[in-house]
Amino acid sequence: MHNPQLNRHGELQHLLTLDGLPREVIVSILDHAAPFTEVAEREVKKLPLLRGKSIFNLFFENSTRTRTTFEIAAKRLTADVVNLNVSTSSTAKGESLLDTIDNLCAMHADMFVVRHAASGAPVLIAQHLLATGRDHIHVINAGDGRHAHPTQGLLDMYTIRHYKRDFGNLIVAIVGDVLHSRVARSQIAALGTLGVPEIRVIAPKTLLPTAIETMGVRTFNDMREGLRGVDVVMMLRLQNERMAGALLPTPQEYYKVWGLTPEKLELAKPDAIVMHPGPLNRGIEIDSAVADGAQAVILPQVTFGIAVRMAVMSMLAGQ
């Protein structure tokens, strides 16, 4: 089946999801990102690969890390970046998403980086650009609803490859609020494509999407059992803002059963790494002693995220 993210030459046109993205494309993004980590060490942290390009950051939902790392990545590639503050823009006056896009196209946008609470918003924009003959403009999904967060998934894969080298013999556990997590969906898709033989999902039954097993994962409702012998622990934030109704007891009780403490982490392999996409809820899904401990690679994830976003943007622009 044709992948709508690839153009007819098989090159990346948009980055909307990691689901169905070919292995060689994912590996190529990770390979492209590696030299970009060195740019950050230089005194002049700039490469002219996106010189003269206009990139619009459209964040219809809150973000700190993702928005700023996209901005830094674009600036290090010498693009002109415009951050739209959507809460005070015309959207707040009732303008539709596609009208906003049309107006930014009239300003000669080259790329949109979009975060939206509605699953499917970046796909809708890409389809609109295609239908109106403006498919030279690229769309990057920076997180849509519960659907996908492809650059987060990619930076997570970059981090795992950095510390573990090879995906082919790993046991990886994703722990916590999988139900509301676009990050988990992108992680599972990428881990599967990259050939991780065992992907575990550890969560209370109320925070597991139905039919998650069809994504090729093993589910665990007991954290201690699930953590035994794993190489990588990927924690998820408890997404209170997406929680409709009472899916959970109190945060204190959640911490007691599902919080990653040093004692629970001991069940994983001694050299296991601990990841988290941020923002952290200390004392809810993760204990501070773990978050700040020797096995945590949470801040390197942020740093690698810049290089991975530089790789995605430069590849989309054909560089």
Angle between helices 182-193 and 150-164 (to 10 degrees): 50
Tell me how crowded residue 47 is: count the other CB atoms within 10 A of its CB: 17
Give yes or no for residue 150 binding ligand NCD (CB under 6 A).
no
Give yes or no for residue 66 binding ligand NCD (CB under 6 A).
yes
Give yes or no for residue 242 binding ligand NCD (CB under 6 A).
no
Residue of 149, 161, 200, 264 that binds ligand NCD (CB under 6 A):
149
Residue of 116, 237, 264, 309 that binds ligand NCD (CB under 6 A):
237
Give yes or no for residue 300 binding ligand NCD (CB under 6 A).
no
Give whichever of 33 and 137 is closer to ligand NCD, judged by the CB atom: 33
Give how many residues touch ligand NCD by CB under 6 A: 11
Give whichever of 36 and 70 is closer to ligand NCD, judged by the CB atom: 70
Closest separation in Å from C-beta 99 to ligand NCD: 25
Residue of 91, 119, 127, 239 that binds ligand NCD (CB under 6 A):
239
Give whichever of 237 and 264 is closer to ligand NCD, judged by the CB atom: 237
Residue of 57, 152, 159, 193 that binds ligand NCD (CB under 6 A):
152
Give whichever of 73 and 137 is closer to ligand NCD, judged by the CB atom: 73
Give whichever of 138 and 237 is closer to ligand NCD, judged by the CB atom: 237
Q: 3-state SS of the chain?
A: CCCCCECCCCCECCECCCCCCCHHHHHHHHHHHHHHHHHCCCCCCCCHHHCCCEEEEEECCCCCHHHHHHHHHHHHCCCEEEEEEHHHCHHHHCCCHHHHHHHHHHCCCCEEEEEECCCCHHHHHHHHHHHCCCCCCEEEEEEECCCECHHHHHHHHHHHHHHHCCCCCCEEEEECCCCCCHHHHHHHHHHHHCCCCEEEEECCHHHCCCCHHHHCCEEECCHHHHHCCCCEEEECCCCHHHCCCCCCCCHHHHHHHHCECHHHHCCCCCCCEEECCCCCCECCCECHHHHCCCCECHHHHHHHHHHHHHHHHHHHCCC
Give whichever of 152 and 159 is closer to ligand NCD, judged by the CB atom: 152
Give whichever of 70 and 167 is closer to ligand NCD, judged by the CB atom: 70
Nearest residue (beta carbon) to ligand NCD: 237
Site string for ligand NCD, 252-291 (x = CB under 6 A): -------------------------xx-------------
Query: Contact residues for ligand NCD (CB under 6 A)?
Result: 65-66, 143, 149, 152, 182-183, 237, 239, 277-278
